[in-house]
Amino acid sequence: MGSVSSFFGALCGGETKKEEERLLRANDRAFNLSQQYAKNGIKTSKYNVFSFLPLNLFEQFSRLANAYFLFLLILQLIPQISSVPWFTTAVPLTIVLSVTAVKDANDDIKRHKQDKQVNNRLVKILLNGELREEKWMNVQVGDIVKLESNQFVTADLLLLSSSEPLNLIYVETAELDGETNLKVKQGLTVTGEMGDDIEALSAFRGEVRCEPPNNHLDKFKGTLTLDGQQYGLDNDKVVLRGCTVRNTEWCFGLVIFGGPDTKLMQNSGRTTFKRTSIDQLMNILVLCIFGFLATMCAVMTVGHAIWEEKEGSAFTAFLPRKPGVDVPLSSFYSFWSYVIVLNTMVPISLYVSVEMIRLGNSFFIDWDRKMYHPGKDTPAQARTTTLNEELGQIKYIFSDKTGTLTQNIMTFNKCSINGKNYGELYDFSGHRIEITEKTQRLDFSWNQLADPTFIFHDYSLLETIKEGNPEAQAFFRLLALCHTVMPEEKKEGELNYQAQSPDEGALVTAARNFGFVFRSRTPETITLMEMGQKVTYELLAVLDFNNTRKRMSVIVRDPEGKMTLYCKGADTIIYERLQPSCNKLKEVTTAHLNEYAGDGLRTLVLAYKDLEESYMGRWMERHHEVSTAMEGREEGLDELYEEIEKDLMLLGATAVEDKLQDGVPQTIEQLAKADIKIWVLTGDKQETAENIGYSCNMLREEMKDIFIVAANTADGVKEELQNARRKMCPGAAEEPTVIKARAGLLWLQKTQTVLDENVDGEYGLIINGHSLAHALGQDLELELLRTACLCKTVICCRVTPLQKAQVVELVKKYKQAVTLAIGDGANDVSMIKAAHIGVGISGQEGMQAVLSSDFSFAQFRYLQRLLLVHGRWSYIRMCKFLRYFFYKNFTYTLVHFWYAFFCGFSAQTVYDDWFITLYNTVYTATPVLALGLFEQDVNDRWSSHYPQLYSPGQLNKFFSKKAFFHSVMISCYTSLVLFFLPWAAMHDTVRDDGKDIADYQSFALLTQTCLLIVVSAQMFLDTDYWTAMNQLFLWGSLAAYIAITFTLFSNGLFFMLASSFPFIGWTPSLAQ
């Protein structure tokens, strides 16, 4: 029995074994097929011709609203229950399902076409000793493929050989991470020896053992076994699908992962779906409406039972009951009949209209020319269409500094070498001279390889270099050797550097102009031109930079055989690793660093270490062992790096300038007036961040105090936070007031809210990364939050990407306020995903932030228009739309409630059947849609000029439970008037000849006409901003009602379909 269940489980995919390690053999399709690895074809489409209808309908009816209306339709098909024709629900439901299905089908057809285009691309594969052109979808794991320049990479490949020296290839990774700068990949020397020899490649029988498919773009672990020898494989030896080969004539690669297993496809999963606070409130309100609907139906049922008992027997003579239908059963039928009649409290068109309004407002953001940046040819983009109104409710903004507030275009500005400061100009009396555009620049014409765009003014540094100062030369030699920059030299002497970060590009360019020109690199060498002399260094090891290490080192051997480790990194990290003999120099350099940071410059410290041959030999052996290990590779390498990066000798420090973006101070000032709190989360030094804070108008001299939290212990951090809080709010309680409540759908979500405290005056808070680590602990997080929220400005320095996300989560958890995070780099992605709304800036650090964001643009200053104009308008439009929508539908529905008291609670409808069908889909659909798309209380200029207009959104003033119940109460009153005035006007009314003129259809026509006029008049009163579309939709809807009503009651339709389209005054009794 177990084997049978296992068989069916495997058949249905229920017991798919998770891959723990991948083993493959080159040129051995039989073995690789036995492992059942995925082929290289991809499928991003969801449906095919046969599965579309059932799958799409299943997905649509999985939504609560659609399932509810399907349930109503089924009820309407039961004759004993329904007093409303089935088409009153079927027509709008069919329209909604059809529109959604057409949209889904169109999207899926596009995906099918894209899949077909990609799968049918051609690539050369090595099969049976010869190269053949095959479609991408036919490529399999273990195949060897040949790629040429400007060709897309077919699958995730292990690089074997290339046309470039030492197995180098250049790739562009724009499709993976958005970065357009070239990156270098390098194959193993042992495989590179095969070159483009087809016989050697066909005879290659290497065995690869590596990690299973995953989505880590920057990590890869594996080993290649060839002729009994093991070779370590890392990310530098793997070329990923999605890359494009550049500047490389040809290369060969071994397919490791194909199709859905590639890292590109593994990263194409859906991101977390974000919902707005209005969405969450609507879910709660819809549940309340369902409860209200059930209560009304219960009241009607009780009324029906009482009426049947007391009055119903009088009508049985000419309206006999059906056999077997007694009062209890009749009352049961009545309950479900009223569920059908009153269902329009939550109309199906509500959800469709909300999505259309959001989509339209997203297009307005995309089309806004005032948010287009011509320099980068980059428009604003709403990457998510479901969060527009949330932009009008932002209370906290969390911003990166570099590349977000600043331009991230670095220029080498100053440096400290062996205790001497360079970069300033002084006159004969020793006074500092201000450097302007007219100040004379250094002449680098003596250096034929100098960058003509490089600007420096201090001639003393150039003299020091030319005099042969050893420390100065070692300083620039380090800058020329310790980096990951790739050079391009299309013409002799015309060097172009491809840098992964602007900092590195600025430092290497500075070294180039001062005579230490980085000329070329291979996996084993780096070639410089040192003061006109060509020098080639053997590259022994590269100790990579990451956010934890915050430093980078290279180990090189010069032509004389001397081995040196060169290291650059953050001052706090390098200082911990210096020799004690550097203490005096460290004090002088620290003073210079503080001066640079005070000027808002970004700083790095440089150091070196001479290495012994014997120690280095042992270290390299251990390095090889660790780098080929499958388990614990990263930890082992970290230990080795820590061991060798000790007892360093200090050389000096660099300072590069990153200027503010245009309009940043003005934008921050306007956002502050809108009562939006801005927190800056940066990895820079405290002094640098503080200086930028003043430049941006975030920190101001008129502030009462600016608190700095820099303690190294939890107790110290607690004391500093408490002292700051007590000074700002002396009378506040020591323990915060935390209000616990329940929220969300069915009130299942537990919330904790820390109330805002009043503070007199403006304060600022600056907290360091090591202090923040303690403050984010469970014991101190509330103290941090209380103190920070009392301040107008908060700046967190030296923070890691994880800490950025933790700060955002802390505010979300305890403040119940809408948060926005904005950044431009990969280190901002976690913060962007954590916030309610993520904004990406397409800057110098690639597109990772943009790819993870909900909205994107090119400059920080556009945030003002996004929030104060588009966000505010979207919020007002959505709130007005919802208030009006609930008003018109409650008014329409409650007329049935009052009518029930005059029709024996029989679930008889007030309106004509076709009016019921068309009310929400034709007569009132377009005017309210125009309101949600075009409404403005003030124009964009006034919205920006008076930021205080933004505050109602933060307080949820325009749509809340209170506003909803206010709309319901007005609807109750309006429905009373709309029912009783026509009833009173027609009650006991007779013609001149004494006959009654009042009948059911006359009353229905009069009531529905009054209803439509009243709700249209309310729309007229609610609209502040009239456009041609508003006029067209409002008057057009009324004209459509008149035209359709005259048509429905016309002679022609009566003669053709007398049973469906009767004359006014016709009753079933007259036809019998």
Give tens-digit pLDDT for 865-895. Answer: 999 999 999 999 999 999 999 999 999 999 9
pLDDT of residue 847: 66
Burial (Cβ within 10 Å: 0-12, 13-18, ≥19) of residue 380: buried
The more confident residue out of 492 and 516 is: 516
- Strand-pairing partners, residue 837, are 820
**Band (917; pLDDT cuts 50, 70, 90):** confident
Question: What does the pLDDT average to over 698-725?
Answer: 89
Catalytic residue among 368, 400, 828, 854: 400
Asked if 939 and 869 count as a contact pair (C-beta separation under 8 A), the reply is no
The more confident residue out of 130 and 321 is: 130
Asked if 367 and 642 count as a contact pair (C-beta separation under 8 A), the reply is no
Per-residue tokens: 594: 């503080």
Residue 992 among the catalytic residues = no
Could you read off the pLDDT of 182-236 as tens digits, one per residue?
778 889 989 998 999 999 999 999 999 999 998 777 789 899 999 888 898 988 8
| Full-model pTM | 0.76
Question: What does the pLDDT average to over 960-982?
Answer: 93
Could you read off the pLDDT of 826-869 as tens digits, one per residue?
778 888 888 999 999 886 655 667 877 889 999 999 999 999 99
Question: What does the pLDDT average to over 812-821?
Answer: 91
Tally of CA atoms within 13 A in the half-sphere of 250 that contains its CB:
9
Give the lowest-confidence range in 461-475, 597-611, 680-694: 680-694
Asked if 1072 and 942 count as a contact pair (C-beta separation under 8 A), the reply is no
pLDDT of residue 379: 92
With 80 as the cut, is the pLDDT of residue 898 above it?
yes
Name residues whose C-beta falls within 8 Å of residue 724's C-beta, 6 or more positions apart in sequence: 707, 709, 763, 765, 787
With 70 as the cut, is the pLDDT of residue 13 above it?
no
Phi/psi-derived region of residue 856, left when phi > 0, alpha when psi is between -120 and 50, beta in every other case: beta
CA-nearest of 366, 421, 399, 336 to 79 is 336
d(CA 447, CA 907): 95
Question: What does the pLDDT average to over 435-439?
Answer: 76
The more confident residue out of 66 and 398 is: 398
Give the lowest-confidence range in 281-285, 322-326, 1027-1031, 1040-1044: 322-326
Give the lowest-confidence range in 578-592, 736-750, 931-945: 736-750
% residues pLDDT > 70 (the chain): 91
pLDDT of residue 524: 81
**Band (1061; pLDDT cuts 50, 70, 90):** low
Tally of CA atoms within 13 A in the half-sphere of 496 that contains its CB:
6
Full 3-state SS string of 357-400: HHHHHHHHHHCCHHHCECCCCECCEECCCCCHHHHHCEEEEEEC
**Mean pLDDT computed over every residue of the chain:** 85
Could you read off the pLDDT of 228-276 as tens digits, one per residue?
888 989 888 999 998 889 888 999 999 999 999 998 888 765 445 577 8
With 50 as the cut, is the pLDDT of residue 1067 above it?
no
Per-residue tokens: 958: 């325009």
Burial (Cβ within 10 Å: 0-12, 13-18, ≥19) of residue 178: middle
Asked if 201 and 194 count as a contact pair (C-beta separation under 8 A), the reply is yes
With 80 as the cut, is the pLDDT of residue 1009 above it?
yes
The more confident residue out of 438 and 42 is: 42
d(CA 964, CA 161): 68
Say whether 443 sits in a helix, a strand or coil: coil
pLDDT of residue 8: 37
Place of tokens 């949209």: 103
pLDDT of residue 1070: 36
pLDDT of residue 3: 41
With 80 as the cut, is the pLDDT of residue 825 above it?
no
Give the lowest-confidence range in 712-721, 812-821, 842-851: 842-851
CA-nearest of 531, 839, 785 to 671 is 839
Name residues whose C-beta falls within 8 Å of residue 201's C-beta, 6 or more positions apart in sequence: 126, 144, 160, 161, 194, 252
Question: What does the pLDDT average to over 113-121?
Answer: 89
pLDDT of residue 488: 77
**Band (439; pLDDT cuts 50, 70, 90):** confident
Could you read off the pLDDT of 518-537 as tens digits, one per residue?
998 877 889 999 998 999 99
pLDDT of residue 178: 56
**Band (980; pLDDT cuts 50, 70, 90):** very high
Place of tokens 């035209």: 1043
With 60 as the cut, is the pLDDT of residue 11 above it?
no
With 50 as the cut, is the pLDDT of residue 2 above it?
no
Burial (Cβ within 10 Å: 0-12, 13-18, ≥19) of residue 809: middle
d(CA 599, CA 690): 10
Question: What does the pLDDT average to over 906-912?
Answer: 85
**Band (14; pLDDT cuts 50, 70, 90):** very low
Place of tokens 């489409």: 45
Question: What does the pLDDT average to over 420-444?
Answer: 80
CA-nearest of 143, 134, 125, 198 to 32 is 143
CA-nearest of 834, 548, 875 to 679 is 834
pLDDT of residue 482: 93
With 60 as the cut, is the pLDDT of residue 171 above it?
yes
Number of other CB atoms surrounding residue 428 within 10 Å:
5
- Inter-axis angle of helices 781-790 and 801-815, to 10 degrees? 80
**Band (691; pLDDT cuts 50, 70, 90):** confident
